[in-house]
Chains A and B, each alone.
Chain A
Amino acid sequence: MKSTLTAARYVPRVLAILLLTLLAALTMATFSVSSAHADEVGTEYDYTVTGNVQFNGDALDGVAIALNGNGYKADTVTDADGKWAIGVPEKGTYKVTLDEDTLPDGVIVAKGGNVIDAEFGLTNRKSVNFFLGEGTRSTVNFFDQFVNRFVNGLNFGLLLALAAIGVSLIFGTTGLSNFAHAEMITFGALATLVLSVNLGLPIWLAILIAVVLSGGLGFGLDAVIWKPLRRKGVAVIPLMIVSIGLSLALRYVYQYFFGGSTSQLPGAGMRDLQFGPVSLSPIDMASMGVSIVVLLAVAYFLLRTRIGKATRAVSDNPSLASASGIDVDNVIRIVWVVGAALAGLSGVLWAYFRPGVSWDMGFQMLLLVFAAVTLGGLGTAFGALVGSIIVGLFVELSTLWLPSDMKIVGALVILILVLLFRPQGILGRKERIG
């Protein structure tokens, strides 16, 4: 459970103080120190780390202090005068931690944090003081945090699904694991950035045009690269390596033109609204709404329209589909256009979620997309949706326990575990794994 500072008002006048300045150290050093402390640790050592915990001039009793460093560990509590001292075996750098839970209500560590690195100078004593201030420390209830992360995870999962369905359809119809999908995601965000910020179009129009352009990119890539390669009879694995080369080249073409910096789309910094425990910005809500509508439309396309049924047929068995009169090349072209357009839209939403547009944003998301597709079952469109939502929820919920710079690790570990126990994915059929 995380504790967060909600109202860390730091009031200079009351600035809690801490003393043990040179004067104090000198005076104490002249007398015997040991008796001054109710609970002194490590008196057998020559070197001492000391401190005095006071707030508004009042000594704080019973505040827990922990020290750690150079392979030595000790803890103590302050005495009635607010003083503490810990003897250490050698001069060096120690980490001193004040346990905020033992402070009286309404008192917090105001600045500098509750962990201080203490390094000995020329003397045998080192004083460490914490700056206390008025304020309240509130612990957000675990359930509320869970609900909030859950909604965020749902949002992330939905935008992941937009990209994953494209990857899955392309895999299903052509057998290609398309690494360049990352660059199709980035393309949507970059196109929106250019149209809205550089050309000044309203954001909804910019996104619309960017999605259309993304579809055009998919059409172009299919016409220029993938269709000739299919004609040439290039096998699946070389195709995948070509897509890796394409991904690398496109990614650095983006960096060549846009540089390495991150830019924001219009409206990215909108304030969050509170709904009970859940805080969402209007952009987040629009993002979820758009994702759901588009996903429903894709589902309708796949289940109800002629061309959608043809797509599923090709995905199931290309030769049989071709023999029953389906124009396989046409279906694959449509899949590339639809997949690229969905990827572009996903890129725009990802730019708002991260937040920011950068040249390698798609590549940062690509492995999660692959994880989602594999989880759901390679080549199944609805598996991709289920897998995406699981990955999205898992990435966000894992931050309740894992440090946030490791949230992607959790999702990737899950990917490997699923392959161990259910290699065909959640909705995949067993025969697909070959």
Chain B
Amino acid sequence: MDWGAIFGNAAVELISPTTAAYALAALGLAVHFGYTGLLNFGQAGFMALGAYGYAISILTFGFPVWGAFLVGVGASIVFALILGVPTLRLRADYLAIVTIAAAEIVRLLFTTNTFADVTGSANGLSGYKNEFAALNPLAPGSYGFGPFENNAYDTWLRIVAWSIVILAALLVWQIMRSPWGRVIKGIREDEDAVRALGKNVYAYKMQSLILGGVFGTIAGMIFALPRAVVPSNYQTTLTFFIYAILLLGGAATVLGPIIGSMIFWVLLSFFSGFVARAVEAGWLPFMTSVQGGQLRFILVGVAIMLIVIFRPQGIFGNKKELAFVR
């Protein structure tokens, strides 16, 4: 058993762009769910809009990177408005059902053959990385050390991704201490009380939905840059993974989603690597390697249940600031 490779692969996940993307998406969900109490189950839809908005703008319309970025962000703002207008006045579980349905609509629209010329249908899109790579100020070569050694493009991507995550975290930290943030948290605790104070609850919720959705969209772009955009990546399972990260770290915290994402991916990579190698070595004779790959999903599902039941505030959360609305 090659423990070095297992630990090495797990360590890579600590600062990988995928971890950054999940952290940012989870931070968006923290704004929605942890701070405002909005049950958004459509974060995968926001991420898909970011990834496709970016890729289509560059491939079909030949936009520069900043233009493609703005297209993605604009698409997610429109999406948030479409979601919010019918549902933000309703009870929390309606928003859950509508957002999950809307995310599926987005994914199906990107999957259908009808728009295959633009979306690439089920095969998705690739070949949009040159524009981003052209902005790279680093000289070619390898940077970093040990498991964190990468070529110039990957290093550049990691720097950009984590810078965005840190900026977003600082933004969330600051606005949640501001008067705006206090109203938002008040809505989570008691919507009627906030309304009695003369605040427009609906508008605050909408602003929160847009802010978290934009985080999800940028996360979708970061998620798409190291790989191709494939519609099957944006299934509801993606949203559930992000919820697992958020609940693990603590829903109403700033650091929770980030550290949660690191812990989640390092553990998951370690677990998958260990099971795969254990199957190869014949330690688990009742299991094939394909089955070993499915164990991680079972594990995530069970983890979600156990965290919610036994430590609903997550690792960093404050028991007094329970994230769950009634």
Task: Give the interface of A toward B (CB within 8 A).
Answer: 177, 225, 229, 232, 234-238, 240-242, 244-253, 255-256, 259, 367, 370-371, 374, 378, 403, 405-406, 408-409, 412-413, 415-417, 419-420, 423, 433-434
Smallest CB–CB gap between A185 and chain B, Å? 16
**How many residues of B are in contact with the other chain, CB < 8 A?**
48
Q: Which of B106-114, B179-187, B193-201, B205-213 contacts A (4 or more CB under 8 A)?
A: B106-114
Give the CA-CA distance A235 to B109 in the complex, in Å: 35
Given A246-B305, A252-B298, do A403 and B104 touch, yes or no (CB 8 Å)? no
Q: Across the two chains, which residue of chain A brings its CB closest to B86? A: A420
In the complex, chain A residues whose CB is within 8 Å of the CB of B326: 235-237
For window 272-322 of B, CB contacts with A under 8 Å fall at 290-291, 294-295, 297-298, 300-305, 308-309, 312
7 nearest CB pairs, A to B: A249-B301, A245-B304, A248-B301, A245-B305, A420-B86, A252-B297, A412-B101
Smallest CB–CB gap between B290 and chain A, Å? 8
In the complex, chain B residues whose CB is within 8 Å of the CB of A259: 290
18 contacts between A and B (CB under 8 A): A177-B97, A240-B39, A241-B304, A245-B244, A245-B300, A245-B303, A248-B304, A249-B297, A251-B301, A252-B298, A259-B290, A370-B97, A378-B93, A405-B112, A406-B112, A409-B108, A412-B105, A417-B86
Given A367-B101, A413-B105, do A237 and B92 touch, yes or no (CB 8 Å)? yes
Give the CA-CA distance A255 to B100 in the complex, in Å: 22
In the complex, chain A residues whose CB is within 8 Å of the CB of B308: 234, 238, 241-242, 245
Contact call B90/A255, Cβ cutoff below 8 A: no
For window 51-100 of B, CB contacts with A under 8 Å fall at 82, 85-87, 89-94, 96-98, 100
B237 interfacial by beta-carbon distance below 8 Å:
yes
Task: Give the interface of B toward A (CB within 8 A).
Answer: 39, 82, 85-87, 89-94, 96-98, 100-102, 104-105, 108-109, 111-114, 237, 240, 243-244, 247, 290-291, 294-295, 297-298, 300-305, 308-309, 312, 324-326
Q: Across the two chains, which residue of chain A brings its CB closest to B300? A: A248
Contacts A248-B240, A403-B113, A412-B105 given; 8 further ones with Cβ under 8 A? A177-B96, A245-B300, A248-B300, A249-B302, A251-B301, A252-B301, A405-B108, A423-B89
Give the CA-CA distance A163 to B247 in the complex, in Å: 30
**Of the residues A235, A238, A256, contact of B294 by C-beta under 8 Å:** A256
In the complex, chain B residues whose CB is within 8 Å of the CB of A238: 308-309, 312, 324
In the complex, chain B residues whose CB is within 8 Å of the CB of A237: 39, 92-93, 324-326
Q: Across the two chains, which residue of chain A brings its CB closest to B291? A: A256
**Of the residues B87, B98, B108, B324, contact of A408 by C-beta under 8 Å:** B108
Contact call A246/B312, Cβ cutoff below 8 A: no
The residue among A236, A247, A248, A409 with the most chain B CB atoms within 10 A of its own CB is A248
Q: Across the two chains, which residue of chain A brings its CB closest to B247? A: A241
In the complex, chain B residues whose CB is within 8 Å of the CB of A367: 100-101, 104
Given A237-B325, A405-B112, do A416 and B302 touch, yes or no (CB 8 Å)? no
Q: Across the two chains, which residue of chain B brings its CB closest to A424? A: B90
Contact call B112/A403, Cβ cutoff below 8 A: yes
Contact call B324/A412, Cβ cutoff below 8 A: no
**Of the residues A236, A242, A408, contact of B104 by C-beta under 8 Å:** A408
Contact call A419/B86, Cβ cutoff below 8 A: yes
Given A370-B97, A416-B101, do A256 and B309 touch, yes or no (CB 8 Å)? no
Contact call A409/B305, Cβ cutoff below 8 A: no
Contact call A433/B297, Cβ cutoff below 8 A: no
Smallest CB–CB gap between A14 and chain B, Å? 33
In the complex, chain B residues whose CB is within 8 Å of the CB of A245: 240, 244, 300-305, 308
**Of the residues B108, B113, B243, contact of A241 by C-beta under 8 Å:** B243
Give the CA-CA distance A237 to B90 in the complex, in Å: 15
Give the CA-CA distance A41 to B218 in the complex, in Å: 48
**Of the residues B82, B94, B97, B98, contact of A433 by C-beta under 8 Å:** B94
Q: Across the two chains, which residue of chain B brings its CB closest to A176? A: B93
Smallest CB–CB gap between A116 and chain B, Å? 17
Q: Across the two chains, which residue of chain B brings its CB closest to A260? A: B290
Q: Across the two chains, which residue of chain B brings its CB closest to A432? A: B91
In the complex, chain A residues whose CB is within 8 Å of the CB of B111: 405
**Of the residues B114, B297, B324, contact of A248 by C-beta under 8 Å:** B297
Contact call B90/A423, Cβ cutoff below 8 A: yes
Given A237-B325, A241-B308, do A246 and B301 touch, yes or no (CB 8 Å)? yes
Contact call A419/B93, Cβ cutoff below 8 A: no
In the complex, chain B residues whose CB is within 8 Å of the CB of A378: 93-94
Give the CA-CA distance A434 to B89 in the complex, in Å: 9
Given A406-B108, A409-B109, A423-B94, do A370 and B301 touch, yes or no (CB 8 Å)? no
In the complex, chain A residues whose CB is within 8 Å of the CB of B324: 235, 237-238
**Of the residues B96, B298, B300, B309, contact of A229 by C-beta under 8 Å:** B309
Give the CA-CA distance A423 to B305 in the complex, in Å: 30
**Of the residues B93, B100, B291, B304, contact of A236 by C-beta under 8 Å:** B93
Smallest CB–CB gap between B237 and chain A, Å? 7
Given A234-B309, A238-B312, A256-B295, do A433 and B87 touch, yes or no (CB 8 Å)? no
